[in-house]
Amino acid sequence: MTSERVAVESAKGVNGLEKIILRETRGSSAEVYLYGGHVTSWKNEHGEELLFVSSKALFKPPKAIRGGIPLCFPQFSNLGPLEQHGFARNKFWSIDTDPPAFPTNSSSKAHIDLILKPSEEDMKIWPHSYEFRLRVALGPGGDLMLTSRIRNTNSDGKPFTFTFAYHTYFSVSDISEVRVEGLETHDYLDNLQNRERFTEQGDAITFEGEVDKIYLSTPTKIAIMDHEKKRTFVLRKDGLPDAVVWNPWDKKAKAMADFGDDEYKHVLCVEAAAIEKPITLKPVVNLILRESSRVAEDPLLWSLYVQVS
Ligand code: BG6
Protein backbone atom coordinates (compact mmCIF):
# COMPACT_ATOMS: atom_id res chain seq x y z
CA MET A 1 0.00 0.00 0.00
CA THR A 2 1.36 3.42 -0.87
CA SER A 3 0.80 6.10 1.73
CA GLU A 4 0.13 9.46 0.12
CA ARG A 5 1.99 12.43 1.51
CA VAL A 6 -0.31 14.95 3.10
CA ALA A 7 0.25 18.21 1.20
CA VAL A 8 -0.79 20.51 4.05
CA GLU A 9 -0.82 19.54 7.70
CA SER A 10 -1.20 21.47 10.91
CA ALA A 11 1.10 20.55 13.83
CA LYS A 12 2.53 21.85 17.08
CA GLY A 13 5.98 23.37 16.78
CA VAL A 14 8.51 24.55 19.37
CA ASN A 15 6.88 25.72 22.63
CA GLY A 16 3.51 24.48 21.36
CA LEU A 17 3.32 27.19 18.70
CA GLU A 18 1.11 26.21 15.80
CA LYS A 19 2.83 25.47 12.51
CA ILE A 20 1.79 24.33 9.06
CA ILE A 21 3.80 21.69 7.25
CA LEU A 22 3.78 21.70 3.44
CA ARG A 23 4.90 18.60 1.58
CA GLU A 24 5.43 18.12 -2.08
CA THR A 25 5.09 14.65 -3.66
CA ARG A 26 8.78 14.29 -4.54
CA GLY A 27 9.82 14.81 -0.92
CA SER A 28 10.52 18.49 -0.41
CA SER A 29 8.83 20.27 2.49
CA ALA A 30 8.41 23.59 4.24
CA GLU A 31 7.16 24.75 7.63
CA VAL A 32 5.35 27.97 8.41
CA TYR A 33 4.62 29.23 11.94
CA LEU A 34 1.42 31.20 12.44
CA TYR A 35 3.52 33.26 14.83
CA GLY A 36 5.01 35.84 12.47
CA GLY A 37 3.66 34.16 9.32
CA HIS A 38 7.20 32.89 9.50
CA VAL A 39 8.72 30.20 7.25
CA THR A 40 11.11 28.29 9.52
CA SER A 41 12.09 25.36 7.35
CA TRP A 42 12.51 24.53 3.68
CA LYS A 43 13.93 21.13 2.80
CA ASN A 44 14.81 19.69 -0.58
CA GLU A 45 13.73 16.22 -1.73
CA HIS A 46 16.73 14.67 0.10
CA GLY A 47 15.52 16.17 3.36
CA GLU A 48 18.38 18.70 3.52
CA GLU A 49 17.55 21.98 5.27
CA LEU A 50 18.02 25.00 3.02
CA LEU A 51 17.20 27.75 5.51
CA PHE A 52 19.15 28.69 8.60
CA VAL A 53 17.45 28.84 11.99
CA SER A 54 19.66 29.55 14.96
CA SER A 55 20.08 26.81 17.56
CA LYS A 56 19.43 29.65 20.03
CA ALA A 57 16.23 30.91 18.35
CA LEU A 58 13.70 31.53 21.08
CA PHE A 59 10.27 30.78 19.57
CA LYS A 60 8.92 32.95 22.33
CA PRO A 61 6.58 35.86 21.51
CA PRO A 62 7.09 38.78 21.24
CA LYS A 63 10.66 38.01 20.14
CA ALA A 64 10.88 37.28 16.41
CA ILE A 65 12.22 33.85 15.46
CA ARG A 66 15.93 34.10 14.59
CA GLY A 67 16.24 32.58 11.14
CA GLY A 68 13.98 31.26 8.40
CA ILE A 69 12.07 34.03 6.65
CA PRO A 70 10.82 36.80 8.95
CA LEU A 71 8.53 39.32 7.25
CA CYS A 72 9.58 42.93 7.72
CA PHE A 73 6.40 45.03 7.51
CA PRO A 74 5.43 47.86 7.63
CA GLN A 75 8.95 49.08 8.30
CA PHE A 76 12.34 47.74 7.34
CA SER A 77 15.05 48.16 10.01
CA ASN A 78 14.78 51.27 12.18
CA LEU A 79 14.06 53.58 9.25
CA GLY A 80 10.90 54.98 10.86
CA PRO A 81 9.06 55.36 14.15
CA LEU A 82 8.11 51.70 14.58
CA GLU A 83 10.03 48.89 16.24
CA GLN A 84 12.95 47.41 14.26
CA HIS A 85 11.65 45.59 11.13
CA GLY A 86 8.01 46.42 11.95
CA PHE A 87 5.52 44.23 13.75
CA ALA A 88 4.34 41.58 11.23
CA ARG A 89 7.07 39.17 12.36
CA ASN A 90 5.84 39.12 15.92
CA LYS A 91 2.09 38.94 15.46
CA PHE A 92 -0.04 35.83 15.37
CA TRP A 93 -1.38 35.30 11.86
CA SER A 94 -4.52 33.33 10.99
CA ILE A 95 -5.23 30.83 8.28
CA ASP A 96 -7.04 32.60 5.47
CA THR A 97 -10.01 30.38 4.76
CA ASP A 98 -11.28 32.47 1.89
CA PRO A 99 -8.22 33.62 -0.04
CA PRO A 100 -8.62 35.56 -3.26
CA ALA A 101 -7.48 33.94 -6.48
CA PHE A 102 -3.72 34.22 -6.65
CA PRO A 103 -2.52 34.61 -10.22
CA THR A 104 0.64 32.67 -9.49
CA ASN A 105 1.44 29.16 -8.33
CA SER A 106 -2.17 28.16 -7.85
CA SER A 107 -1.49 24.71 -9.31
CA SER A 108 0.55 23.69 -6.27
CA LYS A 109 -1.41 21.67 -3.69
CA ALA A 110 1.28 22.28 -1.08
CA HIS A 111 0.42 25.82 -0.17
CA ILE A 112 -1.03 27.76 2.73
CA ASP A 113 -2.75 31.13 2.85
CA LEU A 114 -2.31 33.28 5.93
CA ILE A 115 -3.78 36.62 6.85
CA LEU A 116 -2.87 39.38 9.28
CA LYS A 117 -5.25 42.17 10.28
CA PRO A 118 -4.63 44.74 12.99
CA SER A 119 -6.29 44.60 16.39
CA GLU A 120 -7.49 47.80 18.07
CA GLU A 121 -4.31 47.73 20.17
CA ASP A 122 -2.19 47.45 17.03
CA MET A 123 -3.91 50.48 15.54
CA LYS A 124 -2.66 52.60 18.41
CA ILE A 125 0.88 51.88 17.22
CA TRP A 126 0.21 52.15 13.47
CA PRO A 127 -3.14 53.82 12.89
CA HIS A 128 -4.11 51.97 9.74
CA SER A 129 -6.47 49.21 8.84
CA TYR A 130 -5.09 46.61 6.44
CA GLU A 131 -5.32 43.03 5.28
CA PHE A 132 -1.98 41.36 4.68
CA ARG A 133 -2.39 38.08 2.85
CA LEU A 134 0.57 35.75 2.52
CA ARG A 135 0.69 32.64 0.38
CA VAL A 136 3.55 30.20 0.94
CA ALA A 137 3.77 27.53 -1.75
CA LEU A 138 6.07 24.67 -2.62
CA GLY A 139 6.35 23.99 -6.34
CA PRO A 140 6.69 20.55 -7.93
CA GLY A 141 10.48 20.94 -8.17
CA GLY A 142 10.68 21.85 -4.48
CA ASP A 143 10.95 25.56 -5.21
CA LEU A 144 9.61 27.94 -2.57
CA MET A 145 7.34 30.84 -3.34
CA LEU A 146 6.07 33.56 -1.04
CA THR A 147 3.46 35.98 -2.32
CA SER A 148 2.24 38.94 -0.32
CA ARG A 149 -0.85 40.91 -1.06
CA ILE A 150 -1.53 43.90 1.11
CA ARG A 151 -4.62 46.07 0.94
CA ASN A 152 -5.47 49.27 2.66
CA THR A 153 -8.89 48.97 4.32
CA ASN A 154 -8.83 52.40 6.01
CA SER A 155 -12.37 53.73 6.13
CA ASP A 156 -11.20 57.35 6.39
CA GLY A 157 -9.77 57.41 2.87
CA LYS A 158 -6.19 57.78 4.10
CA PRO A 159 -3.36 56.11 2.18
CA PHE A 160 -0.56 54.41 4.05
CA THR A 161 3.10 53.94 3.26
CA PHE A 162 5.36 51.07 4.17
CA THR A 163 8.71 49.45 3.53
CA PHE A 164 9.06 45.71 3.29
CA ALA A 165 11.46 42.75 3.19
CA TYR A 166 11.44 38.97 3.05
CA HIS A 167 14.33 38.57 5.48
CA THR A 168 15.53 35.24 4.11
CA TYR A 169 18.26 33.45 6.12
CA PHE A 170 19.92 30.93 3.78
CA SER A 171 21.86 28.02 5.17
CA VAL A 172 25.38 27.91 3.71
CA SER A 173 28.26 25.50 4.34
CA ASP A 174 30.92 28.16 4.93
CA ILE A 175 30.33 31.87 4.40
CA SER A 176 33.90 32.39 3.13
CA GLU A 177 33.18 29.97 0.27
CA VAL A 178 29.98 31.71 -0.84
CA ARG A 179 29.51 34.05 -3.80
CA VAL A 180 26.53 36.24 -4.66
CA GLU A 181 25.93 37.15 -8.29
CA GLY A 182 23.61 39.81 -9.65
CA LEU A 183 24.43 42.73 -7.37
CA GLU A 184 27.83 43.75 -8.73
CA THR A 185 28.00 47.30 -10.15
CA HIS A 186 24.83 48.26 -8.26
CA ASP A 187 24.58 51.09 -5.78
CA TYR A 188 24.08 50.27 -2.13
CA LEU A 189 23.52 52.00 1.18
CA ASP A 190 25.98 50.74 3.75
CA ASN A 191 24.27 50.20 7.08
CA LEU A 192 27.71 49.99 8.69
CA GLN A 193 28.59 53.50 7.44
CA ASN A 194 25.54 55.60 8.29
CA ARG A 195 23.75 54.37 5.17
CA GLU A 196 26.16 56.22 2.93
CA ARG A 197 25.73 55.41 -0.76
CA PHE A 198 28.44 53.49 -2.64
CA THR A 199 28.71 51.55 -5.89
CA GLU A 200 29.65 47.89 -5.73
CA GLN A 201 32.80 47.28 -7.71
CA GLY A 202 34.23 44.29 -9.43
CA ASP A 203 32.96 40.77 -9.68
CA ALA A 204 30.60 38.68 -7.65
CA ILE A 205 30.33 39.46 -3.95
CA THR A 206 32.32 37.37 -1.48
CA PHE A 207 32.54 37.57 2.32
CA GLU A 208 35.45 38.29 4.64
CA GLY A 209 33.77 40.23 7.45
CA GLU A 210 30.55 41.81 8.63
CA VAL A 211 28.25 42.94 5.79
CA ASP A 212 25.03 44.94 6.07
CA LYS A 213 24.13 46.58 2.75
CA ILE A 214 20.96 47.64 1.03
CA TYR A 215 21.47 47.22 -2.73
CA LEU A 216 19.20 49.50 -4.72
CA SER A 217 17.21 48.89 -7.89
CA THR A 218 18.59 45.40 -8.29
CA PRO A 219 17.76 42.88 -11.02
CA THR A 220 14.88 40.47 -10.44
CA LYS A 221 17.31 37.55 -10.36
CA ILE A 222 20.07 37.05 -7.77
CA ALA A 223 22.13 33.89 -7.32
CA ILE A 224 23.88 32.58 -4.19
CA MET A 225 26.55 30.00 -4.96
CA ASP A 226 27.69 27.69 -2.20
CA HIS A 227 30.83 26.08 -3.59
CA GLU A 228 31.42 23.62 -0.80
CA LYS A 229 27.88 22.24 -0.96
CA LYS A 230 27.82 22.58 -4.76
CA ARG A 231 24.47 24.29 -4.30
CA THR A 232 23.02 27.37 -5.95
CA PHE A 233 20.01 29.32 -4.75
CA VAL A 234 18.36 31.43 -7.42
CA LEU A 235 16.08 34.16 -6.12
CA ARG A 236 13.51 35.81 -8.34
CA LYS A 237 11.62 38.75 -6.93
CA ASP A 238 8.74 40.80 -8.14
CA GLY A 239 7.70 44.24 -6.96
CA LEU A 240 10.75 44.34 -4.68
CA PRO A 241 13.50 46.42 -6.27
CA ASP A 242 16.02 46.34 -3.41
CA ALA A 243 18.08 43.53 -1.89
CA VAL A 244 19.64 43.49 1.56
CA VAL A 245 22.75 41.41 2.16
CA TRP A 246 23.56 40.74 5.79
CA ASN A 247 25.99 38.62 7.77
CA PRO A 248 26.73 39.69 11.36
CA TRP A 249 30.20 38.04 11.49
CA ASP A 250 31.80 37.15 14.82
CA LYS A 251 31.48 40.27 16.97
CA LYS A 252 27.83 40.99 16.26
CA ALA A 253 27.01 37.28 16.47
CA LYS A 254 28.36 37.23 20.04
CA ALA A 255 26.27 40.29 20.91
CA MET A 256 22.99 38.61 19.86
CA ALA A 257 21.47 36.49 22.61
CA ASP A 258 19.50 34.34 20.16
CA PHE A 259 22.40 33.58 17.80
CA GLY A 260 25.26 31.12 18.34
CA ASP A 261 28.79 32.58 18.45
CA ASP A 262 30.00 30.62 15.40
CA GLU A 263 26.74 30.38 13.52
CA TYR A 264 27.60 33.35 11.31
CA LYS A 265 29.77 30.94 9.30
CA HIS A 266 26.72 29.03 8.17
CA VAL A 267 24.27 31.75 7.23
CA LEU A 268 23.76 34.43 4.64
CA CYS A 269 20.76 36.73 4.51
CA VAL A 270 19.77 37.95 1.07
CA GLU A 271 16.51 39.82 1.45
CA ALA A 272 14.14 40.82 -1.34
CA ALA A 273 12.93 44.26 -0.27
CA ALA A 274 11.29 47.59 -1.03
CA ILE A 275 13.17 50.16 1.05
CA GLU A 276 14.53 53.11 -0.89
CA LYS A 277 11.15 53.92 -2.42
CA PRO A 278 8.47 53.12 0.15
CA ILE A 279 5.18 51.76 -1.17
CA THR A 280 2.05 53.86 -0.78
CA LEU A 281 -1.33 52.15 -0.93
CA LYS A 282 -4.60 53.97 -1.26
CA PRO A 283 -7.63 52.46 0.41
CA VAL A 284 -9.78 50.05 -1.56
CA VAL A 285 -12.50 52.09 -3.21
CA ASN A 286 -15.68 50.38 -2.21
CA LEU A 287 -15.46 47.97 0.64
CA ILE A 288 -19.02 46.75 0.23
CA LEU A 289 -18.26 45.46 -3.22
CA ARG A 290 -15.01 43.90 -2.21
CA GLU A 291 -16.01 40.25 -2.12
CA SER A 292 -17.01 40.21 -5.77
CA SER A 293 -14.28 42.47 -7.07
CA ARG A 294 -11.36 41.62 -4.84
CA VAL A 295 -8.90 40.53 -7.49
CA ALA A 296 -9.36 43.60 -9.64
CA GLU A 297 -9.12 45.88 -6.63
CA ASP A 298 -5.80 44.80 -5.28
CA PRO A 299 -3.59 43.72 -8.12
CA LEU A 300 -0.42 44.61 -6.20
CA LEU A 301 1.72 41.61 -5.34
CA TRP A 302 5.14 41.29 -3.86
CA SER A 303 6.71 37.93 -4.40
CA LEU A 304 9.82 35.92 -3.79
CA TYR A 305 10.55 32.73 -5.68
CA VAL A 306 13.57 30.64 -4.73
CA GLN A 307 14.88 27.66 -6.63
CA VAL A 308 17.75 25.50 -5.51
CA SER A 309 19.95 23.21 -7.56
C1 BG6 B 1 19.07 43.02 8.58
C2 BG6 B 1 19.52 44.43 8.83
O3 BG6 B 1 18.05 43.02 7.62
O4 BG6 B 1 18.53 42.49 9.81
C5 BG6 B 1 20.54 44.45 9.94
O6 BG6 B 1 20.06 44.95 7.63
C7 BG6 B 1 19.99 43.80 11.20
O8 BG6 B 1 20.94 45.79 10.22
C9 BG6 B 1 19.48 42.40 10.84
O10 BG6 B 1 20.99 43.73 12.18
C11 BG6 B 1 18.84 41.65 12.02
O12 BG6 B 1 17.84 42.38 12.60
P13 BG6 B 1 17.06 41.84 13.86
O14 BG6 B 1 16.11 42.92 14.27
O15 BG6 B 1 16.33 40.60 13.43
O16 BG6 B 1 18.10 41.53 14.89
Catalytic residue among 271, 276, 291, 297: 271
Domain contains 277 = yes
Return the pLDDT at 106: 55
Q: What are phi and psi of 40, to 5 degrees?
A: -115, -10
pLDDT of 297 over the 70 cut: no
Active site residue 121: no
pLDDT of 101 over the 90 cut: no
Rounded distance between C-alpha atoms, residue 77 and residue 99, angstroms: 29
Is the four-CA dihedral 94, 95, 100, 104 of positive or negative sign? positive
Domain contains 33 = yes
**pLDDT tens digits along 218-255:** 999 999 999 999 999 999 999 999 999 999 999 999 99
Return the pLDDT at 4: 61
185, 199 Cβ separation under 8 angstroms: yes
Rounded distance between C-alpha atoms, residue 268 and residue 96, angstroms: 31
pLDDT of 287 over the 90 cut: no
Active site residue 271: yes
Task: pLDDT band for 299, please (50, 70, 90 cuts).
Answer: low
Domain contains 52 = yes
Domain contains 62 = yes
- The best mutation among 246, 249, 259, 271 to test binding of ligand 1, ranked by most ligand atoms within 8 Å of the C-beta, falls on 246
The rounded mean pLDDT for the chain is: 92
Which domain range does residue 109 map to?
A: 8-308
**pLDDT tens digits along 197-212:** 999 997 899 999 999 9
Rounded distance between C-alpha atoms, residue 164 and residue 219, angstroms: 17
- If one counts the domains in the chain, the total is 1
CA of 77 to the centre of ligand 1 (A): 6
Task: pLDDT band for 285, please (50, 70, 90 cuts).
Answer: low
Using a pLDDT cut of 70, give the percent of the chain over it: 92
Domain contains 3 = no
Q: What are phi and psi of 252, to 5 degrees?
A: -65, -35
**pLDDT tens digits along 170-179:** 999 999 999 9
Quick check: pTM over 0.85?
Answer: yes
The residues, any chain, with a CB within 8 Å of residue 189's CB and separated by 6 or more, are 195, 196, 197, 213, 214, 216, 276
Label residues 130-139 b or e (16+ Cβ within 10 Å = b).
Answer: bbbbbbbbbb
Number of H helices, E strands in the chain: 3, 20
Residue 252 alpha carbon, nearest atom of ligand 1:
10
Domain contains 23 = yes
CA of 254 to the centre of ligand 1 (A): 14
Q: Provide residues with CB under 6 Å of ligand 1.
A: 64, 77, 84-85, 167, 191, 212, 244, 246, 271
CATH of the domain at 170: 2.70.98.10
Domain contains 2 = no
Rounded distance between C-alpha atoms, residue 151 and residue 167, angstroms: 21
